[in-house]
Amino acid sequence: MKISEAGWNLTRRKLIDKAHPLFTKEDNYEIKSGLDFLFYGEKTDTKVPVRWKQYLATWSAIFPLSLLMQLLLLPSLRLMNIPANRYFDTLVSTGCLVFLVIYVVMPNYTKLIRKWLYKY
């Protein structure tokens, strides 16, 4: 049985309400889905950019990184005498790519393109 997004949000809300008495102070939280967190700054009152801008920003960050993975990471694996295996190579390169996008590239990249992202 597939649960809709509204069903998941309701389930999350019920779990948060159930855990609320355990909080030591009033906690600020938001229920989000997707990659919206990549576009939040340090200010919590910042609006999330429109989806097409999120798409273009994410794609423009991932495309060059995926090329770099093929040019730098995969040859490095061969230098370490790790045999070519499509599944292992994909596992390692996508793991590195996601790490770089989440922790290195997007926090800095969104600051760089902030004016364009939030211009409506």
Q: Is residue 111 part of a domain?
A: yes
What range does the domain containing 44 cover? Answer: 36-118
- Give pLDDT tens digits for 33-64: 566 667 765 555 567 788 899 899 999 999 99
Residue in the block written with tokens 């910042």: 46
Number of structural domains (the chain) is: 1
Q: Is residue 24 part of a domain?
A: no
d(CA 97, CA 33): 21
Higher per-residue pLDDT: 17 or 65:
65
pLDDT at 81 over 90: yes
Strands (E), the chain: none
How far is Cα 2 from Cα 11, in angstroms, rounded to an integer? Answer: 14
CB 83, CB 71: distance < 8 Å: no
**Given this model, what pLDDT does residue 59 score?**
95
Would the pTM of this model clear 0.85, i.e. be above it?
no
Please write the tens of the pLDDT for every residue from 86-110.
999 999 999 999 999 999 999 999 9
Q: Does residue 41 sit within a domain?
A: yes
Asked whether the beta carbons of 102 and 87 are under 8 A apart, the reply is: no
In the chain, how long is the greatest CA-to-CA distance? 55
